[in-house]
Amino acid sequence: MQTTSSPARPAIRRLRDRVMGCWLGKAVGGTLGMPFEGWDGPLDLDFYRPVPTEMLPNDDLDLQVVWACALDKMETIAVDRHVLAQAWLDHVEFPWDEYGVAIRNLKLGLKAPLSGEYDNYFVHGMGAPIRSEIWACLAPGDPATAAAYAYEDGCVDHAGDGVWGEMFLAALESAAFVESDPDILLDEALSILPPESVTGRAVADTRLWYRELRDWRAVREQIIASYGSDNFTYAPMNIAFTILGWLASEGDFSQAICIAVNCGKDTDCTGATVGSLMGIIDPDGIPDKWLAPIGRNLVLSPGIVGLDAPDTLDSFTDLVLDLSARLAGKMPAARSYEQSTADLAFPVQRAFVDAFPTRDEPPVFDAPQTVMLPGNYARLRSSDFPKDTLLLRYEFSLGEAGETCVVANTRERSRVWLDGRFAFGRSGGEMVPSPHRAPGDQVTNLHLDAGRHELIVAMEKPAGGADLEWVVVVADGGTKIWRPWAFLPGHPSKAE
């Protein structure tokens, strides 16, 4: 029998099997859910559709491989947010949601946790919770340490429930190395969350609703009603789906991953996370029918670059076990920095008009004010509208000509003109301000010359006294990676 212990941890039975089960379950669940990422649900899957010939690459696992390789290079190993931040810059070329914002922030010179908090519409996204397993495997049976490691990771590109969601899952999965009772595990993991965590409330409600209703579809409707979002990667909603899949499965791996994925939304993440949890609790409980099609090769996404990674899940498991032994439960002690975002504010011209402008000509700015926006993500209170329509004139600069993606996303009625020509507009809709998946009527992709460009945005005052929210992005048209200095052409970080 395999048993490993340390002064701070209980003995772990079959440690290697459980770590291997974690990664196999992660690969199976992610491969099941990936083709349906972003679908609303409910779905009706009972097996892979289509049946794969290998595991599908997924950022859920990709980034954990990057972290393991980064830690392995350290002479004195420690889980450190700044080491992980450098790994983002060295090895990750993902433009998606909070990833794109964080990479932009790191290029602007911000350090974690400010790199995760600043100007980030997606702070509560699933990008960090999906990376929880490595911290559980580095601190098995030690939920407090696993959660502390998860904070070091999550704060690089998230804040709030994005970070708390990762801490919750890391604690849950760590405790699952020594306990299998769902009530005990949930009590343990929930205890690390602050009272203001929406994730904590969503999990507690899901637990109660399933206990009362015993019907995952009915509970799913309750989750959507209470925690739904127009952003399908919203962490509290998806973590609730993950917990629902686990509770409703009654210990059956196939049921767990299918129920989680069939809830819809961030399906690769929910399937992968519940799959890893089930693999830790019962590594023998993953049926061969799920394992045979995907094999054991470790397949990474093309957006992971410059990395000498393990080529199989077996060798990745060995690497993680070695890192765990080297860490020996050492808590993080990250350096802190005095930081300011004052030099990241930029000027725009602002005016208000009564009538919403037609698309034929850019609107005229009567008596405009120059105001400083704190970043690309901005808000204006309804009470600050002296008239019904807000006009903003942005200037941005490109260092070289090329294909460019321009996003101006708000939930309200809007119209946008680029260099004097109408670009796009709509009567209102969802807000998903990421270059790779912004609503089609809130984005344009076109060739722009080097030099200065003018962007005019008209937005209508929200109804019902709500705040106006909007995000403006300039990104590379091919990669969809933010152009960090588009609105800050003279910022010192550009020369570094």
- C-alpha span between 149 and 136 (Å, rounded): 9
Beta strand 9-13 with 346-353: parallel, antiparallel or unpaired?
unpaired
DSSP per residue over 56-115, as a string? PP-HHHHHHHHHHHHHHT-SS----HHHHHHHHHHHB---SHHHHHHHHHHHTT--TTHH
Cβ count within 10 A of residue 28: 28
60 annotated ligand binder: yes
- C-alpha span between 315 and 398 (Å, rounded): 44
495: burial class by Cβ within 10 Å (0-12, 13-18, 19+)? exposed
322 annotated ligand binder: no
* Cα angle 275, 5, 298; round to 5: 35
Residue in this structure with the two tokens 């919750």, named with its chain if needed: 168
- C-alpha span between 310 and 307 (Å, rounded): 9
> Which residues make Cβ contacts (< 8 Å) with residue 360, sequence separation at least 6?
422
Q: What are 242's two structure tokens?
A: 């993950």
DSSP per residue over 174-231, as a string? HHTTT---HHHHHHHHHTTS-TT-HHHHHHHHHHHHHHHH--HHHHHHHHHHHH--SS
Q: Are 26 and 62 in contact (CB under 8 A)?
A: no
Q: What are 135's two structure tokens?
A: 């911290």
> Which residues make Cβ contacts (< 8 Å) with residue 98, sequence separation at least 6?
116, 120, 122, 123, 125, 127, 128, 157, 158, 162
268 annotated ligand binder: yes
- C-alpha span between 281 and 178 (Å, rounded): 8
Of 401, 407, 391, nearest in space to 482 by CA: 407
- C-alpha span between 135 and 122 (Å, rounded): 22
DSSP per residue over 295-363, as a string? -SB----TTB-S----SBHHHHHHHHHHHHHHHTTPPP---------GGG-EEEEEEEESSPPPSSSPP
Q: Are 121 and 54 in contact (CB under 8 A)?
A: no
Annotated binding site for Mg(2+): 59-60, 266, 268
Annotated binding site: 59-60, 266, 268
